[in-house]
Structure 1
Amino acid sequence: MNDLSSSPPGSDDDESCAPPRPRRKGIYVLPNLFTLAALFGGFYAVVMAMNGRFELSAYGVFCAMVLDSLDGRVARMTGTQSTFGEQMDSLSDMVSFGAAPALIMYEWALKGLGKLGWIAAFVYCAGAALRLARFNTNISVVDKRFFQGLPSPAAAALVVGLIWVADDAGFRQVDAIPELAWLAFAVTLFAGLTMVTNAPFYSFKDVGLKRTVPFVVIVAIALGIAVVNIHPPIVLFGLFCLYGLSGYVVYAVKRAKGKPVSVIAVSTDEPDEKGLHQ
């Protein structure tokens, strides 16, 4: 005798017993808006360089730097971190702080140097790609207080900062000024190679914005803003030059004192200095 409780295939009972379809993963809008805006800053900088508006190229890269520093903070504050956002941020950084500065510098000064010019631009672009790839693979074992090598936004600030300062001083046909073209060549190579060194650069990630600070700190911040406004191109470029050299100074000091200089931890459980190796 057939079981009367059994239902023929394709009945409503089979549909009710079917496992629910997995929900499709969405994309968080807010942090990715900042990332896309940073990507647009790099794209805008390249377009302006193609039109000979190098001062606007500098503005585009610096705006991309500000937006890039905000997308991660916004994601953490709103609990909207995602793997998609991390990958999107890396791709945006490669465009805004890797390809864009290399192309802008080549168009501004390096193309007058022939093969050496585009080789320097490629070294910078390759250095940015290698630096970002190493950062993504070592993110779980690196001392959070330091970057391994010069971060790509700071390297981009060195390159476009030189362009901003020279353009503000009235230098237009840079390829006709050999001294300035070779200076651009040296800065581009320095920034590109420093990104792939093991020199430790302070990351400022341990600076807590939610903690209370003495009143004098607020006064110092106000004075810093006032100093920057005296002449933004020179002051900002000078600050990034000091930061670009700071990693080598920290490396030399630690080496002289016999302390570990690597920012790679022996284990993920001990990210402090005592858990680092040379």
Structure 2
Amino acid sequence: MKPPRIRAPRAPRPQRGIPLRTILPNAVTALALCSGLSSIRFAMDEKWEIAVMMVLIAGVLDGIDGRIARLVRGESRFGAELDSLSDAISFGVAPALILFMWSLHDVSRLGWLLALVYALFCALRLARFNAQIDQTVQPHKSAGFLTGVPAPAGAAIVMMPLYLWLSTGLEQFRSPWLVGPWTAFAAILMISSIATWSGASLKLRQRIRFEAIAVLVVLAAAVVSAPWQSLTGIVLLYLATIPFSVRAYRRIRRLREAGQGPASATEPSGLEP
């Protein structure tokens, strides 16, 4: 009687290429990158309104590509790297060049240095984020917060003098002695370690969801009818929330140190499922 043949286990087939389900979110990320690059082209033609809008469109696309990836289960390391590259250009390089061509070129050496610092700090923030992706212990993230101001928000903040100039026409807002310090301030916010709220972690109570939708509709209408005034107000409102997010995170940290655990992490946000 012949002994039974023992078949060697087949080696797993190597995965070739990029899975089809990742194409859609990566295509959206690529569109965001194209939008950010196009803003530089419009800035070279001194079409400042279009240049700013292209950066903002890149921000909208950046906000939905991750959600699309999770929806179709198309998350990938490739997509994460592409997203960071897109963010570095759209929210780091593009705003820096726009502000330099619009205002900072009047103090050429100092202005170029500030533009470089902003773009570099944006890249450093994204590098820090990528380096922490695989870390299991992330105190800010586990509590529902971000570390520092995210790159899209940093781009929206740094261009606020441009919003004011477009809405009022006052040349004072174009002064490099105003734009320069503001650029440095936005750059520091991005690489700082302050806790800022993450929109993905906030959940509305059931009874106020309709009111929230109404607020979003009114906000969208305001942006369409008076974009520059509305964007200025949004930036100021966002900056006003930072002290509260820092205070909320400190409260969570004290609760954790007291041994009450991460279960209390959602309390300071004031929002419930």
Question: Is TM > 0.5 for Structure 1 vs Structure 2?
Answer: yes
Choose from 198, 201, 206 the match for 2:196.
Answer: 201
Q: What residue in structure 1 maps to residue 131 of structure 2?
A: 137
Give the Cα separation in 1 of the matches to 2:124 and 2:263. 23
Alignment-mate amino acid for residue 72 of structure 1: G
CA offsets 1:197-248 (integer angstroms, 9 cap, x no match): 1111111112459x78543333333333344445221111221233134324
Give the Cα separation in 1 of the matches to 2:53 and 2:210. 32
Q: What residue in structure 2 maps to residue 259 of structure 1?
A: 251
Indicate how the Cα distance of structure 1 residues 198 and 260 shifts in structure 2: closer, same or farther if over 3 A, else same.
farther
Give the Cα separation in 2 of the matches to 1:43 and 1:33. 15
Contact 1:61/1:160 (<8 A) preserved: no
Larger Rg: 1
Query: Structure 1 or 2: larger helix share?
Result: 2
SS at match of 1:195: helix
SS at match of 1:81: coil
SS at match of 1:118: helix
Contact 1:106/1:117 (<8 A) preserved: yes
Percent identity over the alignment?
Answer: 34
CA offsets 1:90-121 (integer angstroms, 9 cap, x no match): 00000000111111111110111132211211
Give the Cα separation in 2 of the matches to 1:117 and 1:153. 22
Q: Report how many aligned residue pairs link the two structures.
A: 248
Deviates more, 1:237-246 or 1:91-100: 237-246
User: In the alignment, is residue 61 of structure 1 matched against residue 55 of structure 2?
Assistant: yes
Q: Which consecutive unaligned segments of at least 5 residues does structure 1 have? A: 1-16
User: In the alignment, is residue 127 of structure 1 matched against residue 121 of structure 2?
Assistant: yes
Give the Cα separation in 1 of the matches to 2:105 and 2:69. 40
Give the Cα separation in 2 of the matches to 1:272 and 1:148. 19
TM-score, structure 2 normalization? 0.78
Contact 1:61/1:96 (<8 A) preserved: yes
Indicate how the Cα distance of structure 1 residues 259 and 58 shifts in structure 2: closer, same or farther if over 3 A, else same.
same
User: In the alignment, is residue 29 of structure 1 matched against residue 27 of structure 2?
Assistant: no
Alignment-mate amino acid for residue 148 of structure 1: T
Contact 2:40/2:97 (<8 A) preserved: yes
Q: How does 1:64-143 map to 2 (within 5 A)?
A: 64-139=58-133, 140=135, 141=138, 142-143=140-141
Q: How does 1:152-191 map to 2 (within 5 A)?
A: 152-170=151-169, 180-191=175-186
Indicate how the Cα distance of structure 1 residues 215 and 254 shifts in structure 2: closer, same or farther if over 3 A, else same.
closer
Q: What residue in structure 1 maps to residue 6 of structure 2?
A: none
Alignment-mate amino acid for residue 170 of structure 1: G
CA offsets 1:54-97 (integer angstroms, 9 cap, x no match): 11110110000000001000000011111100100000000000
TM-score, structure 1 normalization? 0.77
Give the Cα separation in 1 of the matches to 2:121 and 2:146. 15
Give the Cα separation in 2 of the matches to 1:23 and 1:135. 27
Q: CA RMSD in A?
A: 3.2
Give the Cα separation in 2 of the matches to 1:42 and 1:234. 22
SS at match of 2:141: coil
SS at match of 1:114: helix
Give the Cα separation in 2 of the matches to 1:162 and 1:271. 41
Q: What residue in structure 1 maps to residue 228 of structure 2?
A: 233
Indicate how the Cα distance of structure 1 residues 245 and 196 shifts in structure 2: closer, same or farther if over 3 A, else same.
farther
Q: What residue in structure 1 maps to residue 213 of structure 2?
A: 218
